[in-house]
Structure 1
Amino acid sequence: MKAIITASLLLAASSALAQQAANPPRPVWTVETLPQPAPLTAETNKQPNPYRSEFGFLKLPPGRVMGSTSAVGVDSRGHIWVAERCGANSCGNSLIDPIMEFDEKGNFIKAFGGGLTVFSHGFYVDAADNIWLTDARAMPGKGATVLKFSPDGKLLMTLGKPGVQGKGTDVFTEPNAVIVAKNGDIFVADGHEADRGVARILKYDKTGKFLMQWGQPGKGQGDLEVPHALAMDSKGRLYVGDRWNNRVQVYTQKGKLLHSWTQFGRPSGLFIDKNDILYSGDSESRRPVGYGYNPGWQRGIRIGSVKDGKVTAFIPDPDPNPDGGATSGAEGLWVDKDGIIYGAQVKERTVARHLPQK
């Protein structure tokens, strides 16, 4: 009897730890520990909105509901890819296929990846239409990885060790985003919760061999606090959405800091198109002291050229009370060849698209 009770207690403890790993609490911040808000200008929230927004255009298969999603991409055929969290906000105990493919009209094609992920987060579609996904949380046997899939769903590469979180170069704590350079080098942003003590960029070659890393938690120039998104311009410069510091940090591929931009808001998602136009999804700016503190800045998608850093367009968050929650509007971003913006929205559990007005 004693052995049975002991085994039951161990099983319960293991289950509790797994649940805690899958859904870690947000840290409590005081005014002293909050990053400084970005400076306001007369144009901070006043740029024109030359887009028409559509919601609910993706047609899910019968019986399927969309879970929270911060991952959207478009391939060379114009097909739309979404990674969602199994109809909820976690795939930890689900076998639902979280990675879905739709045609350009929003018709469902297929899904895959069931049982491999915990918390689908960052997305990248490379030049060969391979699908890269970061899994930002972990539980025993899965999560805390970067997964590379072929377009037909074959797992081609795993960076990190499934279910193992750490600060080494062969493991991740909470990988947020991934991007692949023209030469095949892979960049991963690691560190989703500030209280974990990890905020870094890791670089690997095309085979997954570790090359280098940079970044540390902090508010100073070059420091990072929740590097949440990655983008790359035509010159190969790496743009990091330094979300908790309310800025975009621009680096060389060897980690040299070039610019620190605050004019693009509090970035949750970044994308740079073929014309070097930067799209920044601010899903968190809030006035109340606490999480998302960035008074005066409205949530929405800010758009401008990386050539001069000027914001020229702004799509406001449609949420009538964005200060009422930790997130709303687009986190993950992608822009197709026709200039249509796709925004993956965590709170609303949907993907919106924003079409340029003719």
Structure 2
Amino acid sequence: MRQTIRHGLLVLLLTLCGTFAHAQPLTKAPQYKVDPYWPKALPNNWILGQVAGVATDKNDHIWIIHRPLTITDDEKGATLNPRRSKCCIPAPPVLEFDKKGNLLQAWGGPGSGYEWPKNEHGIYIDANDNVWVGGNAQTDHMVLKFTPQGKFLLQIGSSGASLGSNDTTQLGRPAHMNVDPVANEIYIADGYLNKRIAVFDSNTGAYKRHWGAYGNVPSDEKMASFNPTSPQFSNPVHCARLMKDNTLFVCDRANNRIQVFEKNGKFIREIAYETETRGSGSVWDLIPSDASQKYILIADGTNNEVIVMMRDTGQKVGSFGRSGRNAGEFHWVHNIAVDSEGSVYTTEVDTGKRAQRFTKAK
């Protein structure tokens, strides 16, 4: 009798476990390994400076923007007179690669009809393959739009003086941008001087709307650079990422938090991350890990790692990288992008000066 009861309880337990497992399937967070051979060596004796932006397009081409003016004399010795060394020559600011790491084209820099930024910062490729770039030098208060071949199309804002976080024509050292192809609107993380998200028509440059932290009217009142409970964004407002559910994720970098909004600026929620991080903060950039957007990847340039986080809950479920100089390590990891296969591309500023690729581990 007891044996029969024990057998029945065992069957019931196994049935319940099977039902729970079926209803609650276990999923493994994505893991990554570095591809030490990406990208391939640049042609023309070229070298990169600080790499301050990365983006992918619909063809799975990878675009980066770097800062030629950050290349030191010992790195650009071939350009000096008299020549200091055989290598190297600064590459043009904008470079396009394929997934194998082959350079497809390079262009950019000052030209007729527009004001090229003095310190390049941020790159975005829209649904029509137009290339958007910005800058964060003291006089860089503009975002530029080009064709994939580098033909100038549009400038929003201008160099010179910023007019503050509530101006409708001028930017304030913008950091990043994201285009909504349905509404033809560009969301600008504005930025290193201003403390807001600013939205403009992506075809005409006409002003649409703007907002600060929690959807409030932004203030330029001087505040502590580190205050995770601040009613305002800190500087820099470092990224703006539209999700497929029409929410906008914003990197409030120095305050170690992500704020989530509706496209009209209505505040939804906040995700705090590594709240004790000082210096330059923990949330430098973020991107969904794949088309499902179940996970987001956060580039943390102070702790020098990439975090895998559940997008809905903000739970950290993985990470890769550490501070260092070897392949797969980081020094000031600054921006992040993914391709259609889920491979991850990162860039580094300060003395990092490189781009890396990480593939999904199988």
Compute the TM-score of the two structures, normalised by the length of structure 1.
0.73
Tell me the secondary structure at the aligned position of residue 141 of structure 2.
Answer: strand
Larger CA deviation: 145-154 vs 306-315 = 306-315
- Corresponding position: 1:150 with 2:147: yes
Counterpart mapping for 1:243-258 below 5 A? 243-258=253-268
2:108 aligned residue: 113
Q: CA deviation at 1:320?
A: 7.7
Q: Distance in 2 between matches of 1:245 and 1:89?
A: 30
Tell me the secondary structure at the aligned position of residue 244 of structure 1.
Answer: coil
The answer to whether the 8 A contact 2:48-2:90 is kept is no
**Cα shift readout 1:12-62 (whole Å, capped 9, x = no counterpart):** xxxxxxxxxxxxxxxxxxxxxxxxxxxxxxxxxxx9882111346223122
Q: CA deviation at 1:336?
A: 0.5
Q: Is the alpha carbon distance of 1:269 and 1:203 closer, same or farther for their aligned partners in structure 2, counting shifts above 3 Å?
A: same
2:54 aligned residue: 72
- Corresponding position: 1:128 with 2:124: no
**Cα shift readout 1:283-333 (whole Å, capped 9, x = no counterpart):** 01xxxxxxxxxxxxx431112232333222211324289xxxxx9242111
Q: Distance in 2 between matches of 1:135 and 1:145?
A: 7
**Cα shift readout 1:99-131 (whole Å, capped 9, x = no counterpart):** 111122111121111222311111211111111
Tell me the secondary structure at the aligned position of residue 254 of structure 2.
Answer: helix
2:175 aligned residue: 176
Q: Pick one of 85, 96, 99 that aligns with 1:104.
A: 99
Tell me the secondary structure at the aligned position of residue 245 of structure 1.
Answer: coil
- Corresponding position: 1:341 with 2:357: no
**Cα shift readout 1:62-82 (whole Å, capped 9, x = no counterpart):** 221110012011111121111
Q: Is the alpha carbon distance of 1:114 and 1:320 closer, same or farther for their aligned partners in structure 2, counting shifts above 3 Å?
A: closer
Tell me the secondary structure at the aligned position of residue 114 of structure 1.
Answer: coil
Q: Is the alpha carbon distance of 1:330 and 1:159 closer, same or farther for their aligned partners in structure 2, counting shifts above 3 Å?
A: same
Q: CA deviation at 1:163?
A: 3.8
Q: Distance in 2 between matches of 1:205 and 1:246?
A: 30
- Letter of the structure 2 residue corresponding to residue 97 of structure 1: P
Larger CA deviation: 149-158 vs 109-118 = 109-118
Q: Is the alpha carbon distance of 1:320 and 1:126 closer, same or farther for their aligned partners in structure 2, counting shifts above 3 Å?
A: closer
Q: Distance in 2 between matches of 1:337 and 1:280?
A: 18
CA root-mean-square deviation: 2.6
- Corresponding position: 1:279 with 2:297: yes
Compute the TM-score of the two structures, normalised by the length of structure 2.
0.72
Which structure 1 residue ranges, 5 or more long, are not aligned? Answer: 1-46, 285-297, 322-326
Q: Distance in 1 between matches of 2:254 and 2:211?
A: 17
Q: Distance in 2 between matches of 1:304 and 1:123?
A: 23
- Letter of the structure 2 residue corresponding to residue 71 of structure 1: G
Q: Is the alpha carbon distance of 1:181 and 1:49 closer, same or farther for their aligned partners in structure 2, counting shifts above 3 Å?
A: closer
- Letter of the structure 2 residue corresponding to residue 310 of structure 1: Q
The answer to whether the 8 A contact 1:341-1:354 is kept is yes
1:50 aligned residue: 31
1:262 aligned residue: 272
- Letter of the structure 1 residue corresponding to residue 174 of structure 2: P
- Letter of the structure 2 residue corresponding to residue 280 of structure 1: I
Q: Distance in 1 between matches of 2:323 and 2:90?
A: 33
Higher Cα Rg: structure 1 or 2? 2
Q: Distance in 2 between matches of 1:283 and 1:314?
A: 13
Larger CA deviation: 337-346 vs 272-281 = 272-281
Tell me the secondary structure at the aligned position of residue 158 of structure 1.
Answer: strand
> Percentage identity across aligned positions?
27
**Number of matched pairs:** 284
- Corresponding position: 1:316 with 2:321: yes
Q: Is the alpha carbon distance of 1:246 and 1:342 closer, same or farther for their aligned partners in structure 2, counting shifts above 3 Å?
A: same
Q: Distance in 1 between matches of 2:37 and 2:69?
A: 15
Which structure 2 residue ranges, 5 or more long, are not aligned? Answer: 1-27, 73-88, 111-115, 213-217, 276-281
Q: Pick one of 178, 196, 200 that aligns with 1:200.
A: 196
Q: Distance in 1 between matches of 2:321 and 2:247?
A: 28
Q: Is the alpha carbon distance of 1:350 and 1:51 closer, same or farther for their aligned partners in structure 2, counting shifts above 3 Å?
A: same
Q: Pick one of 241, 246, 258 that aligns with 2:251.
A: 241
- Corresponding position: 1:224 with 2:206: no
Q: Distance in 2 between matches of 1:275 and 1:49?
A: 12
Larger CA deviation: 48-57 vs 344-353 = 48-57
If asked which structure has higher relative contact order (CA below 8 Å, sep 6+), I would say 1
Q: Distance in 2 between matches of 1:311 and 1:114?
A: 39
The answer to whether the 8 A contact 1:251-1:257 is kept is yes
Q: Is the alpha carbon distance of 1:129 and 1:275 closer, same or farther for their aligned partners in structure 2, counting shifts above 3 Å?
A: same
The answer to whether the 8 A contact 2:53-2:347 is kept is yes
- Corresponding position: 1:307 with 2:312: yes
The answer to whether the 8 A contact 2:248-2:261 is kept is yes
The answer to whether the 8 A contact 1:248-1:264 is kept is no
- Corresponding position: 1:352 with 2:362: no
- Letter of the structure 2 residue corresponding to residue 212 of structure 1: R
